[in-house]
Amino acid sequence: MPRPGHFGVPHGFMLHLPVGSVTDYARWVLVGLLIIGAGIVLSSLFRGRRSPAEPIPWALLAISLGVLPLLSAPIGMALALSHSETVAFCSSCHRPMQSYVDDMRDSSSDSLAAVHYKNRYILDNQCYVCHTDPGLMGAIHAKLEGITDLYKYYSGTFPTPIVMRRGYANTFCLKCHAESAKYIAVRDHSRNRAVLESGKRPCMDCHGEAAPAHALRSEERSIKEIETEEIKK
């Protein structure tokens, strides 16, 4: 049963994704390649033990130790990068991030994140889409910052509540809203198009007053403070 005030959608699952998506097939291909490679290596070892005089099938070993890793490595990397864009991955850093994800999924919340989520303005990977610049460089920059965040999380140096490295960039908003009819219909957007696109006038100057980006229910503390209290107990 879903919690009160939350959508009845399983964690990490989006309604529009069909069963048997590309990611699912890629996972099966990766698993298949790993099984084939392990099978060839084990078969060669057992074969050599049973008949020491029999020559080792070097061609098969070359395939299992050379060709198959070359095929499986990029598939595994692609799957890892794809998973790092999901809400499930973001919320896996549960102490600093879980309250933000809970607010986004809360149907009773009026925060900007919750409004975008419950109206399905962004179908999936909402955290990643809303906090990444458009284009290849935006994706690369997001991955590099994500590596830094992972280090801070596992080293216990990630303070909460989270403070963004910089102000929320207009490009995060405009990459989706700039060409929408609803956005264009607002005269203030047209009059201030240049300063909005340059970032001199932040979108949050107006929209942040109407509703916060996230409405957190309680003030969080740093990871170190929580762990210190747990040790004392």
- Please tell me the distance from the alpha carbon of residue 197 to that of residue 187, in angstroms, as a whole number: 15
CA triplet 212, 122, 83: central angle to 5 degrees? 105
Residues with Cβ within 8 Å of residue 223, at least 6 apart in sequence: 95, 96, 153, 156, 157, 158, 159, 160
106 DSSP β-pair partners: 6
Q: Which residue has tokens 């955290």? A: 127
Q: Please report, in angstroms and rounded to a whole number, the separation of the first and last CA atoms in the chain.
A: 33
Residue 195 pLDDT level (bands cut at 50, 70, 90): very high
* CA 67/CA 75 separation, integer angstroms: 13
CA–CA dist 63, 58 (Å, integer): 9
pLDDT at position 228 is: 46
CB–CB of 113/103 below 8 Å? Answer: yes
Q: Is 106 helix (H, G, I), strand (E, B) or coil?
A: strand
User: Over pLDDT 70: what percentage of the chain?
Assistant: 78
Q: Specify the DSSP class assigned to residue 167.
A: P
Cα gap 184→205, rounded to integer Å: 18
Q: What is the pLDDT of residues 105-159, one digit of tens each?
A: 998 898 899 999 998 888 889 999 999 888 888 888 888 888 888 888 888 887 7
Interval 48-98: pLDDT, tens: 666 665 666 777 777 777 888 888 888 888 888 888 888 988 888 877 788
> What number is the average pLDDT over the span 186-190?
91
Which residues, 6+ apart, have CB-to-CB distance to 125 below 8 Å? 85, 86, 87
Q: Are 125 and 13 in contact, with CB atoms under 8 Å apart?
A: no
CA angle, 136 then 137 then 142, to 5°: 100
The SS3 call for residue 199 is coil
